Structure 1
Amino acid sequence: MLRLLFMVLLIMRVGGVQKLQDGKFIVQATKDCVSKTLKRLEEKIHGRVLSHLLYLMRVSDKPIQRQVALALALLCSPEDQLTIFVDGNGLELLLGLLGSTDTKQKLDGAVALHKLAVKSMVPSPVDTAPPSPTQIIYLGEQYVNNATLSDVTFIVEGRTFYAHRICLLASSDAFRAMFDGGYREKHARDIEIPNIQWEVFELMMRYIYTGSVNIPTTEIAQDVLRAADQYLLEGLKRLCEYVICQDVTVDNIESMYDLSEAFNANSLRQTCILFILEHFDKLSLKPETNQLVQRTIPEIRSYFCRVLTKSY
């Protein structure tokens, strides 16, 4: 047992796990050997071995602490993630690497954090369709912009949109405040909408009347997201986020993250975080990446604390 413990510790202290993980091997036999070695190491990370590694993460010199945290992110079982990375200081060690000025340390931290996210088995917002809305009253497709029984009209870009207060009242707190509160719109017949394009407003209203809508492009989805946030339509926000998440790229990641922060779009923010960690090797070539990473570190911390705690 002591010999096994010594071997595992030695491999981790010298960064052996990362070297095996990062190695570019050509011969298939070598690849198989490395895979088996990592699998065997993974099987040993429990009991006394894990306890001693946790001890090293608390009391060793910082370089050794980081090597152990990196190795555990790659090798530990999902059942031990909370103990290692939330209750222990593993997460802070990895975030310290991500926030380092050294490019290799940043990349190591990003790879380890992405591996940790994958192991947590939480579906990405990109792969998870938005849930069905909970609104009770839907008038149906036939009443969208229909003058029949309409008791309020909106003026959008100079055009008239016929609507029905009962449907709007059921859709969100924003419309309830507009029509059932002390605002001037309560008794108004015509209400001007100055800051939303006709196409965007029509899509928003179609969602309110039917509970679903087809958003044709990512660009339009961003505009609808803004409108949905303004009118407190959480279901429509989630739908827009789902559409936008499909189109996150290396080139637009910063603007997408800005969008998620501006409109408190949690699913989009989570997608951006996971994208940054997964594609850090490409993003690190862009000069503005360092500033973006520094901005996201607090949210990355919150994400892992939330995800790893929910797993138990």
Structure 2
Amino acid sequence: MHFTEPEHQQLIIDAGALPHLVDLLKRHKTAQNSRAVNGVIRRAADAITNLAHENSSIKTRVRLIFTLHLYFVCEGLRAVFLHLLNCFVDAKVQRAAAGALRTLAFKNDKNKNQIVECNALPTLILKLRSEDTAIHYEAVGVSGNLVHSSPNIKKDVLLAGALQPVIGLLTQREAALLLGQFAATDSDCKIHIVQRGAVPPLIEMLQSLDAQLREMSAFALGRLLLDSKNGSLQQNAAFALYGLADNEDNVTDLVKVGGVQKLQDGEFIVQPTRDCVAKTLLRLEEKIHGRVLGHLLYLMRVGEKVIQRRGVLVLAHLCSPDDQKMIFIDNGGLELLLELLESTNLKHQRDGSVALCKLANKASSLSPVDAAHPSPTPGLSGCVNNSTLSDVTFLVEGKRFYAHRICLLASSDAFQVMFDGGYRERDAKDIEIPNIPWNVFELMMRYIYTGSVDVNMDVAQDLLRAADQYLLEGLKRLCEYAIAQDISVENVSLMFELSEAFNALSLRNACIVFTLEKFDKLSVMPWYSQLIQRILPETRAYFVRALTRPIQADL
């Protein structure tokens, strides 16, 4: 019977089939173990399994029918399925009973608790040791559904003796998954798992042609080894993973289960482990090209969201600069990173910030602030504020500043408009400058005459304003470079506002990179979320510009 579609399940339930199926299961009380009776019981158990598949309300009804219908003998769930597991020698009946328990325990805490309270665990452990593959396959499934998101039941299952038989079943992906769930416990379970010989079969499973088997074994290894706080265990794990990373077929599986991220984020106790992890990451970096890169890009497009995120984070850290445009612009990797940055989940925000910062630092074409390279003009430094041959005078704070039109016209389009356009300054001998202090104006003119000037923080912002007003791009970049050296956690928001006010692109880029680098310190600030929302469009534009322009453009 294959009626797992929700609409089919409900039609059958509404027609009143469930109590009759329970009655068929009750035949185990009086019937002999004939082939015909066994077949009826097995099919009834299979029918209940299919009816309750991913349907929590039907699972609950199954439990209630057992509990109410058989209350007079105090049997509940145990009355049927556990008796079938214990007393019937027919392997198909045992498999069907275990399959039904597996379905009833899936995402239903009340059913889980009743199965444990009915003392089902000893029977399940025995079935884990069954010689029949189908039976121990279902028994592993029951155990996995029992322990999932249930720390207390996980402890009970371990105490009942599940660990060793599960290790013995490590040719099954479900066994590897269950072992990974066991390894997530806060007890010393990880050490016991390693001591009982789980690592070699898990490593052997990573060489399997079955992709799901490789994925589950990588999941178990990650939980078992990389989450450990035991120095010796970490070290053994690190050397094992270093060997695994030499096979490019393992790379994608390590990425999918989050193993690479654990290597990047892990807190490793001893230096040899840290050294080995660094070598493993380098080895993985060397593998991310060709077929491996193609598979990771495929997962970024079609994988579940968590897999997409793991893939793009690994690529941000480990991809070649030559592949960055293809990964992050052409295949949407940048948008995945920006989604993390604007997430409400603090871990996602941090991962996105670190990855974007790494991406910026790895790309040789990315430079937060480029100081303008000065182009000194020999012999003109003595002409600054020199009345000799001066043909224009500026009035700054009531004092005259002597200049030469030919130098000004050559320096900026703003002066060309001033002197060649229809403005009153065209024929004026004295031009008043009302909004720039004398010392700032003098520095601006010195830059015009010499192509070089020392910018200190006392005047940097005022000089930036003047440079923007008179369209002196080289001077603006010098000011932006000086101001960027003073960016701090406390003032980065104001610095970003300054960059917007004067269209200071290099300073804006510096604010973006600083925000990414200092996530841990900035994220505790009450205004951090507002800052992120403001810089997000500029962050996107920054990376698009940087990843699409040729590297030669900076030469």
Q: Which amino acid aligns with 1:23?
A: G
Q: Equivalent residue of 1:260, what SS?
A: helix
TM-score normalized by the length of structure 1: 0.92
Kept in 2, the 8 Å contact 1:200–1:223? The answer is yes
Kept in 1, the 8 Å contact 2:360–2:366? The answer is no
Offset, 1:139 = 6.8
Q: Which amino acid aligns with 1:41?
A: L
Unaligned runs of 5+ in 1: none
Kept in 2, the 8 Å contact 1:125–1:245? The answer is no
Offset, 1:47 = 2.2
Give the whole-Å Cα distance in 2 for the aligned partners of 1:31 and 1:233: 49
When Rg is computed on C-alpha atoms for both structures, the one with the higher figure is 2
Task: Give matches, 1:28-47, under 5 Å.
Answer: 28-47=271-290
Does residue 320 of structure 2 align to residue 81 of structure 1? Answer: no
Identity across the alignment (%)? 66
Task: Give matches, 1:262-277, under 5 Å.
Answer: 262-277=501-516
Give the whole-Å Cα distance in 1 for the aligned partners of 2:497 and 2:511: 10
Q: Which amino acid aligns with 2:443?
A: L
Q: Which amino acid aligns with 1:213?
A: V
Offset, 1:183 = 0.3
Q: Which has the higher helix share?
A: 2
Kept in 2, the 8 Å contact 1:196–1:227? The answer is yes
Kept in 2, the 8 Å contact 1:138–1:209? The answer is no
Give the whole-Å Cα distance in 1 for the aligned partners of 2:315 and 2:429: 64
Q: Which amino acid aligns with 1:179?
A: F
Q: Deviations over 1:188-229 (max 9, x none)?
A: 1111111111111111111112221122x2241111010011
Question: For residue 173 of structure 1, what is the aligned residue in structure 2?
Answer: 413
Q: Deviations over 1:137-193 (max 9, x none)?
A: 887122222222222211111122122222212221111111111100111111111
Offset, 1:125 = 4.6
Kept in 1, the 8 Å contact 2:366–2:546? The answer is no
Kept in 2, the 8 Å contact 1:218–1:244? The answer is yes
Give the whole-Å Cα distance in 1 for the aligned partners of 2:506 and 2:360: 15
Q: Which amino acid aligns with 2:287?
A: K
Give the whole-Å Cα distance in 1 for the aligned partners of 2:365 and 2:310: 25
Moved more, 93-102 or 44-53: 44-53
Kept in 2, the 8 Å contact 1:125–1:242? The answer is no
Q: Which amino acid aligns with 2:539?
A: I
Q: How many residues align?
A: 308
Does residue 379 of structure 2 align to residue 148 of structure 1? Answer: no
Question: For residue 235 of structure 1, what is the aligned residue in structure 2?
Answer: 474
Does residue 360 of structure 2 align to residue 117 of structure 1? Answer: yes
Give the whole-Å Cα distance in 1 for the aligned partners of 2:432 and 2:314: 59
Question: For residue 88 of structure 2, what is the aligned residue in structure 1?
Answer: none
Offset, 1:21 = 0.9
Q: Equivalent residue of 1:80, what SS?
A: helix
Kept in 1, the 8 Å contact 2:375–2:450? The answer is no
CA gap of 1:247–1:164, structure 2 versus 1, over 3 A, is: same
Does residue 442 of structure 2 align to residue 184 of structure 1? Answer: no
Match of 2:307 among 57, 64, 71: 64
TM-score normalized by the length of structure 2: 0.53
CA gap of 1:197–1:180, structure 2 versus 1, over 3 A, is: same
Q: Deviations over 1:258-279 (max 9, x none)?
A: 1111111121111111111111
Give the whole-Å Cα distance in 2 for the aligned partners of 1:61 and 1:69: 12
Q: Equivalent residue of 1:170, what SS?
A: helix
Question: For residue 131 of structure 1, what is the aligned residue in structure 2?
Answer: 373
Moved more, 47-56 or 35-44: 35-44
Unaligned runs of 5+ in 2: 1-206, 215-246
Q: Which amino acid aligns with 1:82?
A: K
Question: For residue 157 of structure 1, what is the aligned residue in structure 2?
Answer: 397
Question: For residue 452 of structure 2, what is the aligned residue in structure 1?
Answer: 212
Q: Which amino acid aligns with 2:506?
A: S
Does residue 486 of structure 2 align to residue 247 of structure 1? Answer: yes
Q: Which amino acid aligns with 2:427?
A: H
Question: For residue 81 of structure 2, what is the aligned residue in structure 1?
Answer: none
Q: Deviations over 1:32-52 (max 9, x none)?
A: 221122222222222222211
Q: Which amino acid aligns with 1:130?
A: A
Offset, 1:123 = 5.5
Give the whole-Å Cα distance in 1 for the aligned partners of 2:550 and 2:488: 29
Q: Which amino acid aligns with 2:341?
A: L
Match of 1:222 among 461, 465, 490: 461
Task: Give matches, 1:296-307, under 5 Å.
Answer: 296-307=535-546
Q: Equivalent residue of 1:118, what SS?
A: helix
Question: For residue 280 of structure 1, what is the aligned residue in structure 2?
Answer: 519
CA gap of 1:150–1:311, structure 2 versus 1, over 3 A, is: closer
CA gap of 1:46–1:143, structure 2 versus 1, over 3 A, is: closer
